[in-house]
């Protein structure tokens, strides 16, 4: 299906809202209240979650194409957070960080519940730079849809 080009370029900046099926799959996969992928979660079989993510990404792409957007996004459906690259975990994309239990950032402490009350949010260990930073692999590679999967219009 070919669309007429719009007079102005349009693209999505940021994440798309995750569909209900994907939100449910995430809840089933991850431990309650996690803030990062834990070691025991990395050991789990993620094939069901990955398949649900793939389908959600394909549907997001289909909708963007149907809207006639010039640039499409995967919706950032696999993204764990805004800073996964700065992790001390051995599979993080950037090497050179270490765990820091005394992680004194204040902006993360001002989360509010549904009533608006400030709640204490357990942060877990943070990451601090401990040696020169080196790129292990592309920062977002693991977030994208498998490029061999057929997409609409291909």
CA 152/CA 148 separation, integer angstroms: 13
**Stated length of the chain:** 154
Report yes or no on whether pTM surpasses 0.85.
no
DSSP code of 102? S
Mean pLDDT for the stretch of residues 107-116: 71
Asked whether 145 and 54 are in contact (CB, 8 A), the reply is yes
Q: Place 19 in a pLDDT band, splitting at 50, 70 and 90.
A: very high
Q: Place 8 in a pLDDT band, splitting at 50, 70 and 90.
A: low
What is the model's pLDDT at position 91? Answer: 76
Mean pLDDT for the stretch of residues 51-66: 91
Q: Place 137 in a pLDDT band, splitting at 50, 70 and 90.
A: confident
Nearest to 21 by CA among 61, 54, 67: 54
Asked whether 122 and 109 are in contact (CB, 8 A), the reply is no
């Amino acid at each position: 299906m070919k669309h007429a080009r719009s007079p102005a370029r349009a693209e999505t900046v940021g994440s798309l809202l995750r569909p209900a099926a994907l939100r449910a799959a995430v809840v089933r996969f991850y431990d309650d209240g996690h803030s990062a992928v834990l070691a025991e979660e990395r050991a789990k079989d993620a094939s069901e979650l990955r398949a649900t993510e793939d389908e959600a990404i394909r549907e997001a792409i289909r909708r963007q194409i149907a809207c006639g957007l010039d640039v499409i996004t995967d919706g950032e459906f696999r993204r764990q957070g805004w800073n996964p690259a700065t992790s001390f975990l051995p599979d993080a994309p950037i090497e050179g960080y270490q765990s820091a239990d005394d992680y004194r950032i204040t902006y993360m402490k001002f989360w509010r519940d549904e009533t608006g009350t400030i709640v204490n949010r357990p942060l877990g260990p943070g990451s601090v730079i401990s040696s020169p930073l080196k790129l292990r692999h592309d920062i977002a590679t693991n977030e994208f849809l498998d490029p061999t999967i057929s997409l609409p219009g291909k």
